[in-house]
Amino acid sequence: MKIFDERGATLYELLAVLVISSIILPIIYGVFTSGYKLYNKIGIEGQLRDDADYTATMIMNTFYSFPFDYVRECGEKNCIELVNSSSTSLTKQEKEQQIFYTINQNAANEEEQVVRIEITDSENDSTRKTISIDSAEITSAADFSESALEVSCSEFNNKNEEACTKGMIELMLKLDHERLEEKLELDSKFGF
């Protein structure tokens, strides 16, 4: 039995392999590159969704952890302030070996406590916009340039028409990333 023969491949066989390869290889390459692009797009969109969820959660945590009396819009667009205009104090009273605490809530505080939530320029990159809470930037890979932060009020304070005591906060996020072709749009609403 002879393993090697001296004939080799004919020119027709070689041309057939080249023609078949020139048809099949671009298809395989196209499928591979489109799969890789789709994988990157899904990964970036997942990261942007996580950033949006984190941002909305931080804003909601601020609303529910800061004792505010009303919400007002800042002079600028995409800016709201949580205002605590009343003060609460605790006094300790002792009577006959018993201790009592009295809560005093004053209607007017000489100095308002304010927490500001706004869409601002990024500290690291002036071409990007981020969301900051009380001047602390929320770290994110997303660009919030075309995003909006709005208050729709259903009940105002009797004394002040700018003071919203009940309403809805709407976050209209348009997240952009350098490796995305089109912006990812997400909306979120919550009441206070």
Per-domain residue ranges of the chain = 11-191
Which helix (H) or strand (E) covers residue 170, if one does?
strand 164-175
Tell me what pLDDT residue 29 has: 95
C-alpha to C-alpha distance for 27 and 76, rounded to whole angstroms: 53
**C-beta neighbour count of 182 within 10 angstroms:** 7
Q: Is the pLDDT of residue 110 over 70?
A: no
For residue 87, what is the DSSP state? E
C-alpha to C-alpha distance for 105 and 88, rounded to whole angstroms: 4
pTM above 0.75, yes or no: no
Query: Dihedrals φ, ψ of 37, to 5°?
Result: -65, -40
Q: Is the pLDDT of residue 177 over 80?
A: yes
Q: Is the pLDDT of residue 123 over 70?
A: yes
Q: Is-contact 165 173, C-beta < 8 A? A: no
Query: Dihedrals φ, ψ of 156, to 5°?
Result: -105, 160
Share of the chain above pLDDT 90, in %: 27
Tell me what pLDDT residue 181 has: 83
C-alpha to C-alpha distance for 147 and 169, rounded to whole angstroms: 13
